[in-house]
Structure 1
Amino acid sequence: MEKRTKIVATIGPACESLATIKDLIREGVDVFRLNFSHKTYEEATRDVTMIHEARKALDRPVAIMADIKGPAVRLYGYAEEIALKPGTELTIESADPAGIEKLVSSKPLHVYTNLPDIDRICAIGQKVILMDGYFSGKVVRKAPKAVVVAVENEGGLRPKAHLTLPGVDYPIPFLSEKDINDISWAVEKDIDYIALSFVRCATDVEEVRRLVQRTALSQGKTTNIKLIAKIESSRGLENIDEIIRAADGIMVARGDMGVEMPIENVPIAQKQIIRKCYLAAKPVITATQMMESMMENPMPTRAEVSDVANACFDSTSAVMLSGETAIGKYPVQVVRMMRTVVETVEKEFDYIDFHHDVPPEVQNGDIPAIMSYNAVSVAYRCDANALIVLTETGHAARLLSRLRPRMPIYAFLTNERLYHQMALNWGVEPFIHSGKGTRLDAVVAEAISICKRKGLLKSGDRVVIVAGLPLAHQGTTNMIRVETIE
């Protein structure tokens, strides 16, 4: 069987050719991420066209995710690196975001930020992080609309460096004009997932969901884009339960998380979020620096391999590559290495213990939840080779996926959009069936025929079938059936 844990790869200059995209899919990429912090619409449209062509040619489910920049706070007013040393005092002044990129500071060690009222939201002694953690410092004085930060280490401060104030709730809108335009583009191109940066609460997700629906309506279409909330701050972590309920999935964005909160808390947060997500039947992506050394080197470090392995042992739905595939020297090799690590871990995973440790609320929820738990129990007891689920919305497949069964989950759908979206879900291998006829026997026979034709099942294999009767009705998972393949 192929790996259960899915791989998300960021597309960029290192892999923006049809041949390379096909190679990445063959090596195990399930989702391609478009990073709108660095991508133009022309580039993104070209990427989407190539991904569509590649997944059709290879007959593989592959999802596309647009990662929206979100409320980024940066420094402006300088075009060259600023040399900083321990004790250097840097003045940071709030400026109107409109036209801030054209501002030029006339004073040395004086920069601007798009964060309003920085003097009001900062206290003396407030910790300040610059350039994603490269610099740290503390606020030592205030001035009108400005603070003076004493820098604690040496280096060059790059233009448009990120500014982070750990523990501070920034008084800026969740969506910028650029974010709104990016979301409109994603709706127009029928992108499968939108990832939302710096989600703070469920309201942020709900705001985007309403925007997506309004945008689709204005374009004269309906949409089923799914929303992934990126958890990157202490506030997002505090509100994780409500965010999981509101979103269609979660990304553990460990890079910014490690800047926004004490770095030693990141592994704990990762484990907690992963568990909450799979128990809620929501996919969860573990991201950032998973094999970063392979941007330059043909092999990862031992620590990176352990990082990927531990995320899989934690039961993450997917692991993500960022710069490794976007701008790294070895995009195909890094995916191959990640797949190898994932497959090796999955051979050692204790699926039976996982099943026995499922909490009571998962075993005894609503009828679909009860049926999915018992379907996996039956599959273990009769030593089934696979679970076949007939689903209209994908929910029944996600309920099976959260139980992390040892056997593969073959999900049969009639909707092509959902077919590609299901590529993100742990252990789920989606297929399209014709949908002709409403008789259960006919649909089951077609599903088994597809599995046999693809070499996934053979004569003598046993399968557990999960479906809802009557067929094609949503939310009616109420049937478990065991068959032996003839």
Structure 2
Amino acid sequence: MKRLAKIMVTMGPSTLDYAIVRRMMSAGADGFRINMSHGDEKQWATFLELIDKASQELGVHVAKVADLEGPRVRLGEFQGVDIAPGQQVRFKYKDAQGEGIPVDNRAFFASLERGDRVLVDDGKVVLSVEDIERDSATLRVISGQRLEPRKGVVLAGKEYDLPPVTEKDLQNMKFIAANNFDYVMASFVRSARHVEIIRKALSDAGAKDVKLLAKIETPSGVNNIDSILDVVDGIVVARGDLGMHFPLEDIPVIQRRIIEAARRKLKPVILATEIFMSMIERPLPTRGEISDVYAGIEEGVDGFLVTSETSIGKYPAEVVSWLSRVIEEANKNVRPRRVDQLTSSLESRISRGVVEMAQNVGASVVVYAHDFDVARLISAFRPGTSIYVGVPTTQLARQLSLLWGTVPVVVGPADSEEQGLEATEKELESKGITGPGSLLVELSWTPDRSTAVVKVKQVF
């Protein structure tokens, strides 16, 4: 069985090397994330050159994903300082007078109350608020050893009242539009209205064809998950930031709730944060991490996003190799939970019927798709085999590369659905994917979705 769940990796200092990028791609990386919270356009352009060169040399289609920083509060620029539990620390707005650790946004101080817990650097530092002034605050260190510049600052259980798109995001969107990204990940999405604002900003910047993934990482994002899913192309379960707002023991339940919502809405869902975190320093994952991947497969995620494991870790290619190996074995032994809810959509009902037919007769699914949604709906019902999708463009092939089980095949534009399917069949045969004895269930839609053609075919 081919690996069905997908792998997205994060670029960073550890991947500024063509040989490493090529090894990650050869090992099974399906998407490459560029985190726009770090680096600059020159570095991002270098990452894109490495990705494009490797994908062309290997003849594969991988998604290029831009992750917008979004409305985040961070520490400013300063020399890192050592701290100790019990010590008092003064935080101040970056332009305020006097000594103190700079914070880059006044929203932090406007949101503070005495007794609030402040988490810095994904919870590596925890402080308690003791005194508040207009542009400064005195805090007591509860845990942690060092404060470093540019680290994120979270108020446990609270959300900052910030607009969904920042000036930095707007500037980064121009880079996204100019460099043919396939997906944009939007950070700290709290509502469907926020998604609409982000989409308009992307369209105004010239990036209207990218697919939008909402990162769910705040209480509002969790509470509004259904309405958010109605207006995005997919979601990312950002467990790291969720862990800043909810008790850690609640995260598995929240994770399952978000994934189940995405499955009901037939939208892609990617699980992120601390997938193989131990591999930052060691060449093997832990048994617990492997079990975590199995749980994600059973819950039905489309794929996994590794972050620090590849961006700053010592073994980026080994991370992909191990994750691919574990997913493939999990796909053999664990079936994703069934989606029982049927929508009123004719497309979704037919897609489910195609998947069930393929499973009943032991066939592979072959689709010719003009757009993203045709393949998305087939993938959403998690067939236990690969979905071969003939597509007219390389951009659509790259976008489909992150969907469960989807193997995109570029066959070019077709004058008819029949012609598109025939071209897809020929391409699969030429690649040795299908041959005599292969059993196929084929689906094609007319561009206006008025007519679907479903065929069961034996290859002789």
TM superposition score normalised by structure 1: 0.90
User: Which position in structure 1 is the counterpart of 2:50?
Assistant: 50
User: Which position in structure 1 is the counterpart of 2:180?
Assistant: 190
The SS at the match of 2:34 is: strand
2:438 matches 1:478: no
User: Which position in structure 2 is the counterpart of 1:377?
Assistant: 356
| CA distance, structure 1, for counterparts of residue 140 and residue 451 of structure 2 | 61
User: Which position in structure 2 is the counterpart of 1:419?
Assistant: 397
Mapped contact 2:107–2:160 kept (Cα < 8 A) = no
- Quote how far apart the aligned CAs of 1:226 are: 0.9
1:244-285: CA deviation from partner (whole Å, max 9, x where unpaired): 112111111111111122222211121121222233222111
> What letter is aligned with 1:157?
L
Over 3 Å counting, the alpha-carbon distance change for 1:106 and 1:336 in structure 2 is: same
Equivalent of 1:390, from 368, 376, 380?
Answer: 368
Q: Which runs of 5+ in 1 are unaligned?
A: 217-221
Correspondences of 1:50-449 after superposition (within 5 Å): 50-76=50-76, 78-86=78-86, 88-93=87-92, 95=93, 100=94, 103=95, 106-107=98-99, 110-116=100-106, 118=108, 120-216=110-206, 223-350=208-335, 354=337, 357-362=338-343, 365-384=344-363, 386-438=364-416, 440=418, 442-449=419-426
2:5 matches 1:28: no
Q: How many residues get paired?
A: 460
| CA distance, structure 2, for counterparts of residue 238 and residue 46 of structure 1 | 38
Which deviates more, 255-264 or 122-131?
Answer: 122-131
Mapped contact 2:369–2:390 kept (Cα < 8 A) = yes
- Quote how far apart the aligned CAs of 1:475 are: 3.1
- Quote how far apart the aligned CAs of 1:117 are: 5.4
The SS at the match of 1:14 is: helix
> What letter is aligned with 2:50?
M
| CA distance, structure 2, for counterparts of residue 129 and residue 245 of structure 1 | 32
Equivalent of 1:460, from 425, 437, 445?
Answer: 437
Mapped contact 2:159–2:218 kept (Cα < 8 A) = no
Over 3 Å counting, the alpha-carbon distance change for 1:383 and 1:119 in structure 2 is: closer
The SS at the match of 1:76 is: coil
Mapped contact 1:81–1:159 kept (Cα < 8 A) = no
- Quote how far apart the aligned CAs of 1:104 are: 8.4
Q: CA RMSD in A?
A: 2.0
Mapped contact 1:201–1:235 kept (Cα < 8 A) = yes
The SS at the match of 1:213 is: helix
- Quote how far apart the aligned CAs of 1:477 are: 5.6
> What letter is aligned with 1:133?
G
| CA distance, structure 1, for counterparts of residue 76 and residue 47 of structure 2 | 31
1:92-133: CA deviation from partner (whole Å, max 9, x where unpaired): 33x3xxxx3xx58643xx333233255542232222222321
| CA distance, structure 1, for counterparts of residue 209 and residue 357 of structure 2 | 33
| CA distance, structure 2, for counterparts of residue 447 and residue 56 of structure 1 | 20
1:174-208: CA deviation from partner (whole Å, max 9, x where unpaired): 22222111111001111111111111112222112
Mapped contact 1:117–1:145 kept (Cα < 8 A) = no
Q: Which runs of 5+ in 2 are unaligned?
A: none
| CA distance, structure 2, for counterparts of residue 186 and residue 444 of structure 1 | 33
1:277-333: CA deviation from partner (whole Å, max 9, x where unpaired): 233222111111111111111111111111222112211111111122122111111
- Quote how far apart the aligned CAs of 1:169 are: 2.7
Moved over 4 A (4+): 117-120
TM superposition score normalised by structure 2: 0.94
| CA distance, structure 2, for counterparts of residue 105 and residue 308 of structure 1 | 49
| CA distance, structure 2, for counterparts of residue 432 and residue 209 of structure 1 | 27
| CA distance, structure 2, for counterparts of residue 360 and residue 312 of structure 1 | 19
The SS at the match of 2:375 is: helix
Over 3 Å counting, the alpha-carbon distance change for 1:379 and 1:42 in structure 2 is: same
> What letter is aligned with 1:90?
V
Mapped contact 2:157–2:244 kept (Cα < 8 A) = no
The SS at the match of 1:185 is: helix
> What letter is aligned with 1:447?
T
> What letter is aligned with 1:463?
L
| CA distance, structure 2, for counterparts of residue 279 and residue 139 of structure 1 | 41
Correspondences of 1:6-21 after superposition (within 5 Å): 6-21=6-21
> What letter is aligned with 2:155?
L
